Amino acid sequence: MSVSVECRDLAITFGAGPTAAKVLPGVTFSVKPGECFGLVGESGSGKSTVLRCISMLTDIWTGNILIDGKPVRDIPLIERCRTLQMVFQDPYGSLHPRQSVRTVLNEPLVIHKLGDHEERMRRAITDVGLPVSFLDRFPHQLSGGQRQRVAIARALILEPSLLLLDEPTSALDVSVQAEILNLLQRLRDERGFTYIMVTHDLAVVDHMCDRFAVMLHGEITEILPRDAIPGNRATHPYARELIGASLEYEGAH
């Protein structure tokens, strides 16, 4: 099951009065069902804020966000959480240090009054390639890559259709990043998830995404297909600079 996402004139301002900061002046993009959409740009350009708005973790925005044609504000909380889930950047910060993996995975099942807890937890943990015995571990007994897998399992356990990925691999080593990217790719092939992925690594975008938006100071400068990267076919100067820098950094093949 896949859903589409549409953002229209998404704008958000933090603070009030003369010190108010307009973080997103008006962002518009749409993501097709089953697509992997990338958001790239420098730090502070508002990439993560877009995800937080879509997931309603920040809800003071104006504009429209439609998920499968329905305004996200009108979707009841319980239904919203079953439709979309988020995976955060830092697996060291996003898991409760005193909760075992079992507790972490059990909580959403209780909240959503789902049955077969044990069976669902086993399935989720196996889906992310960890042994079932890991259910009884605590975060400090896991490596960074394993923690991120648990965070992904937590997002998967409610069987959502849309995953919001906020730099899911930037805290990890390349070798571990490869495992997580393969996992995300496989899950998408199997379940037809829609992904919106924030990253600053264009090689990851090239590997995972179909299209991506380049953000600068909260605005989308350009939306490009993935194959615009190798030949740097961007037209906006900042997008060109970003892609150019990434190509140069890769050793310019």
Partner 1 sequence: MEKSILEVENLRIRYGGSETDAVRGVSFTLGRERLGIVGESGSGKSTVGRALLRLLPGATITADRLRFAELDLPSLSEKEMLKVRGRRMSMILQDPKFSLNPIRRVGDQVAETYLRHFKCSKAEARDKALAMLEAVKIREPKRVYDQYPHEISGGMGQRVMIAMMLLADPDLVIADEPTSALDVTVRLQVLNILDRLVKDRGIGLIMISHDLNLVRNFCDRVLIMYAGRIVETLAAADLDKAKHPYTRGLLAAQPRIGGGRTPLAVLDRRPEWLEEIA
Q: Does 19 bind partner 1 (CB under 8 A)?
A: no
Q: How far is CA 8 from the centre of its chain?
A: 19
Residues binding partner 1: number (CB under 8 A): 33
Q: Which residue, 152, 197, 194, 235, is CA-closest to 47?
A: 197
Q: Does 229 bind partner 1 (CB under 8 A)?
A: yes
Which position among 123, 201, 217, 219 is part of the footprint of partner 1 (CB under 8 A)?
Answer: 201
Q: Does 200 bind partner 1 (CB under 8 A)?
A: yes
Q: Which residue, 94, 87, 224, is CA-closest to 152?
A: 87
Between 152 and 171, how does the x/- string for binding to partner 1 read (CB under 8 A)?
A: --------------------
Which position among 79, 136, 173, 237 is part of the footprint of partner 1 (CB under 8 A)?
Answer: 173
Residues between 131 and 150 with contacts to partner 1, criterion CB under 8 A? 144
Q: Does 98 bind partner 1 (CB under 8 A)?
A: no
Part of the chain binding partner 1 (CB under 8 A), chosen from 53-61, 88-96, 109-117, 180-188: 180-188
Least distance (Å) from partner 1 to the CB of residue 138? 19
- Of residues 61 and 88, the one with the C-beta less far from partner 1: 88
Show the tokens assigned to 61. Answer: 């925005």
The 3-state DSSP class for residue 227 equals helix
Q: Does 242 bind partner 1 (CB under 8 A)?
A: yes
Q: How far is CA 154 from CA 63, 151, 167, 194, in A?
A: 30, 5, 16, 17
Which position among 66, 178, 187, 223 is part of the footprint of partner 1 (CB under 8 A)?
Answer: 178
Q: β-strand 21-31 against 70-71: which pairing, if any?
A: unpaired
Q: Which residue, 188, 171, 189, 169, is CA-closest to 179?
A: 169
- Of residues 114 and 181, the one with the C-beta less far from partner 1: 181
Q: Which residue, 106, 55, 109, is CA-closest to 84?
A: 55
Which position among 82, 185, 191, 219 is part of the footprint of partner 1 (CB under 8 A)?
Answer: 185
Least distance (Å) from partner 1 to the CB of residue 106? 29
- Of residues 112 and 200, the one with the C-beta less far from partner 1: 200
What's the order of all strands across the beta sheet hosting 21-31? 21-31, 5-14, 62-67, 70-71
Least distance (Å) from partner 1 to the CB of residue 122? 23
Show the tokens assigned to 18. Answer: 């003369």
Give the separation between CA 87 and CA 75, rounded to whole angstroms: 20
- Of residues 132 and 203, the one with the C-beta less far from partner 1: 203
Report DSSP state, residue 206.
H
